Structure 1
Amino acid sequence: MPNPYSEIFRAPGTKGFAAAGFVARLPIAMAPIGIVAMLSQTHGEYWLAGAVSATYALTNAFLAPQISRLIDRLGQTTVAAPAATISASAFLVLIVATNQHWPVWTLFASALLAATMPSIPAMVRARWTGIFRDQPGLYTAFAFESVADELVYIAGASLSVGLSVALFPEAGMLASTLFLAVGTAAFLLQRSTEPRLEPSAERATGSAIRLRPVQIITLALIFVGVIFATAEVSTVAMTKELGQPGAASLVIGVYALGSFIVGIIVGGLNLTMPLPRRMLISVAAIALTTLPLLLADTVLMLAITVFISGLAISPTFITAFGLIERRVPEAMLTEGITWVMTGIGIGMALGAFAAGWVVDTFGAHSGFFVSVAAAFASLLTVLAGQKSLAGGRQEIPRNTLAQPAE
C-alpha cells in the first residue's frame, strides 16, 4: 500500500515550500512566550511582559486576516515580503529596546509593528490547494500541515523559553526573528509553487468572514481554542495542587502527543464521509472526551484523560481546513484559512483568562468545567451550521464586489 505522505511530496516543489514554511511559522509559538521570557528577566515585571505579549498577539489576530485578504488579491510575494520585513525589523527593535532599557512605550510600539507578521500556515495551505485542488492528496496535505502545527506548538514554545533561560534573555526572541526572516525568504523565493491569482480576486472587496461557512467554522474553533488554553492552565494548577508542579510540562506534552498521533493516522486514510458530517463527529468526540477530565484526581489520571482529550483535535482541524477549501471562493482562500487560525488564537486568549479566573475562584480542578462548556458550545455551533457547511463552493457575494464605473 503506497504511503500517502510520500505521494504528496512527489509533486515538484512541495518539499521545499513545506520545509521553509515550517521554519517560517516557528515564531507563531516562539514570539508570544519569548516576549514574556525576555521582559520578565530584564525588567522583572510580569504584568509588563504579559501586556507587551498580549499587545502583539491581539494586534496580529486583527491584522493577519487583512494581510491575507491582500495576499489573495495581489499575491504572496507582493504582500508577504514587505509585511514580514516590517515584522522582523520591529522584533529586532523590541530586542534592542529591551536590552538597552528604552522607554516602555517603545516596547509596545515595536510589538504593534511586529504584528504585521503574515499567516505562514495559511499561505502554505494555499500552495497545497493550488497543487491538489479537488484531489484526495489535499486531505493528506492538510493532515500533514496540522501535524506540523502541533510540532510548532510543542517545540517552539519550549525552544524559545529554553534559549532565554540557558543563554541570555533575548536569545529566544532573536532566534524567533531569524526563523521568521530566513524561513519567509526561503518560502517566498520558491515562486513556482506560488498560487496563481484568480481573475475575480482583483474585484473582491469584501471579507471572507462575511461568508456563513467561515463564520461557523471560525466560531467553532474559537471554542476549541478555549479548550486548548484551559487544558494548559488547569494542568499547571492541578499538578501544583497535587504537589508535582514539574509534571505539568509532561502532561501538556501528552495532550499534544495524542493529537499528533491521530493526525498522522487520519491523514493516511481515504475517507469518503461528507466533510460537514465528519466535522460534526470530530467536535462531538472532542465534547465527549472532555468529560473524563472532571474525574482526574491524580497526576496519572490527569495525564491519561488529557491524552484522550487530545485525540480528536487534529481530525477537527484537518476537516475544518478541508471545509474552508471546499466552501470558500478560490479568490478568498488565504483569508478564509487565516480567519480560522485567528479564531483558534482568540479562543486561546479567552480560554486562558476564563480558566485563570475559574481556578482562582473555585479551585484548580474546576478549570476543566470551562473545557466542557467550550466543547459543547463548539458542538452546538457545528450542529446548527450543518446546512450552511454542506454544498459546493460559494460564489463571491454581490455586495463584496467592486462596482464597475458607469
Structure 2
Amino acid sequence: MFSAAGAIARMPMSMVGIGTVLMVQAFYGSYATAGAVSAVLVVSTAIVSPQVARWVDKTGQRRVLLPMLLLSTTGLVGLVVAATLRAPEAVLYTLAVLAGGAQGSYGSYVRARWSYAVREPRRLHTAYAFESSVDELVYIVGPVLATVLATAVIPSAALLVAVVTGTAGGLWFVLQRRTEPPVVPQQHGVAVGSVSTPGPASAIFVPGMPLLALVFVAMGTIFGAVDVATVAFAEEQGSKGASGLVLAAFAFGSLVAGLAYGAKHWTSPLSTRFTIGTLVLAAGVSLFFTAGNLWVLALVMCLTGSAIAPTVINGNAMVQALVPPHRLTEGLAWVSTSIGVGSALGSWLAGLRIDAVDAHAGFLVAMIAGWACAALALVALPTLRRQGRPVPIATTDVTQV
C-alpha cells in the first residue's frame, strides 16, 4: 500500500513543471518567464530535498513529511492565486521557492521503505525497477492530464489537481506507520574492506557520488528542455493540447523498458550498464532536433524513452552501492535533486532559446545536454567501477545496524 500511496504523492512531480509552464505562459505570454518560474520551483526542490532527506534519516519520515506537506500545499495554492491575479514576477518566484522547497522526494522515501522491507538483492532490484516503472507511469499520466486541464479547463487547473493528488497521496503515505523504516543509528565510521574510515558529512561527499550527481544533472537538463520545447513545438504545429500526449510517449517508452529491464537478472557490471544507458539516451535525443511534425517526434521520443528507466534504475542501485545505510534516503534524494537541478536549467535555457529562435532551438539544448550526460558518465565510469560494491542494505537487517 505504501507504493500506491507514494505513486499518488508523486503525481505533482510530473504535473507541476509543465503545469507551471502552461499556466504562466497563458497569463504572462512568455516562455522565458514560464521556464524561469518553473526553474525556480524545481531548483528549490533540488536544493532542499537532500536536506529534508537527511532530516528524515535522522528522525523518521512521519515527523518530517507532515509539516513539509503543509508548506508545499500552501506554496502551490499561493502560486496559482498569484499567477491568476497576474502578480509581479517576483511574487511568483517567491511562492515557487516555498512550493518547491517543501515538495520533498517521495521516490526516495518509497525506495527507502522497499530497502527496509526487502532483504534479498534480486527482489530489491525488481522492487527498484517496479518503482522506476511507477515513476514513468506517473510521467505518462501527469503531462497528459496537466495539458488537458490547462488548455481545456483553465490555465491553473493542472496545478490545482497536483495540489489535491500530492496532499492526498502524501497523507496516505505518511500515515502508514508499519512500513516506515526505523531510524538507523549513525555510525562513526564506514567499513571499507577491513579498514574503518570516517563517515562523510553528507552522502554527496561519498567517493563517486559527486560524479554520479553531475551525470544526473545533465540528464535532468534533457528532461527540462524537452518539456518546454515540446509544448512550444506543439503550439507551432497548431496543436498545443497534444504536447502532453507527445511527452507521454517519452514516458511510455521508459515504462515498457523499465518493466522489461526489471524482469531480468543482470550479471554485467552495474557501472557499465549505467554508462551504456546514457550513450543510448544521448543518441536518441539528438534525433528530436530533426523532427518535422508531432507524429515523428512522438515516435522518436517513445523509442528514446526506453533508455531512461534502465539508466535511472542503475543510478539508484549505484547510490545504494556507494553510500552507507544511515545515508540511504539522502543518497537517493540526491538523484532526484540532481535531475531537478538539471531540469530547471534545461527549462530556463530552452525557454530563452525558444523565445529567441523557435522550438527546435529548445531541442538543440536537449541534444547538447544529452551528449554532456554521456561524456560525464564516461568520465565517471572508472571511479564508479572502483568505488561500487555489492549492495549492503539488501542483505543486512537494518534493525540490527
**TM-score, normalization by structure 2:** 0.82
Identity %: 36
Matched residues in 1 for 2:231 and 2:83: separation?
Answer: 28
**TM-score, normalization by structure 1:** 0.81
Matched residues in 1 for 2:362 and 2:371: separation?
Answer: 15
Matched residues in 2 for 1:85 and 1:305: separation?
Answer: 40
- CA 36–386 in structure 1, closer or farther in 2 if over 3 Å, else same: closer
Give the CA deviation at 1:360: 5.6
Q: Residue in 1 aligned with 2:397?
A: none
Q: Which of 27, 40, 43 is residue 58 of structure 1 equivalent to?
A: 43
| Matched residue count | 379
- CA 308–35 in structure 1, closer or farther in 2 if over 3 Å, else same: closer
Matched residues in 2 for 1:374 and 1:133: separation?
Answer: 37
Residue 67 in structure 1 maps to residue 64 in structure 2: no
Residue 26 in structure 1 maps to residue 17 in structure 2: no
Matched residues in 2 for 1:227 and 1:103: separation?
Answer: 29
Could you list the per-position Cα deviations for residues 115-162 of structure 1 after superposition, in whole angstroms to 9, with x for gaps in the alignment? 212211110011111122452111111111112112222322333343
Residue 206 in structure 1 maps to residue 201 in structure 2: yes
Q: Is the 8 A contact 1:129 1:325 kept in 2?
A: no
Matched residues in 2 for 1:119 and 1:310: separation?
Answer: 22
Superposition pairs for residues 7-406 of structure 1, below 5 Å? 16-38=1-23, 44=28, 46=30, 52-95=37-80, 107-114=92-99, 115-168=101-154, 170-200=156-186, 206-236=201-231, 238=233, 248-293=243-288, 295-297=290-292, 299-358=294-353, 364-365=359-360, 367-390=362-385, 391-392=388-389
- CA 268–182 in structure 1, closer or farther in 2 if over 3 Å, else same: same
Q: Is the 8 A contact 1:83 1:116 kept in 2?
A: yes
Partner SS for 1:212: coil
> Which runs of 5 or more structure 2 residues have no equivalent in the other structure?
190-198, 393-401
The higher radius of gyration belongs to 1
Matched residues in 2 for 1:106 and 1:357: separation?
Answer: 21
Give the CA deviation at 1:220: 0.8
Q: Is the 8 A contact 2:206 2:322 kept in 1?
A: no
Give the CA deviation at 1:282: 1.4
167-176 or 82-91, which moves further after superposition? Answer: 167-176
Q: Residue in 1 aligned with 2:193?
A: none
Give the CA deviation at 1:201: 6.4
Give the CA deviation at 1:359: 5.0
Q: Is the 8 A contact 1:227 1:351 kept in 2?
A: yes
Q: Is the 8 A contact 2:121 2:391 kept in 1?
A: no
How big is the alpha-carbon RMSD for the aligned residues of Structure 1 and Structure 2? 3.2
Q: Is the 8 A contact 2:144 2:245 kept in 1?
A: no
Partner SS for 1:353: helix
- CA 94–382 in structure 1, closer or farther in 2 if over 3 Å, else same: closer
Q: Residue in 1 aligned with 2:395?
A: none
Q: Which amino acid aligns with 2:62?
A: T
- CA 249–198 in structure 1, closer or farther in 2 if over 3 Å, else same: closer
30-39 or 190-199, which moves further after superposition? Answer: 30-39
Q: Which amino acid aligns with 1:225?
A: G
- CA 65–303 in structure 1, closer or farther in 2 if over 3 Å, else same: same
> Which runs of 5 or more structure 1 residues have no equivalent in the other structure?
1-15, 396-406
Q: Which amino acid aligns with 2:135?
A: D
Give the CA deviation at 1:262: 0.8
Could you list the per-position Cα deviations for residues 52-106 of structure 1 after superposition, in whole angstroms to 9, with x for gaps in the alignment? 4443322222111111111111111121122112222333444555667888766
Partner SS for 2:337: helix
Give the CA deviation at 1:289: 2.8
Give the CA deviation at 1:200: 1.1
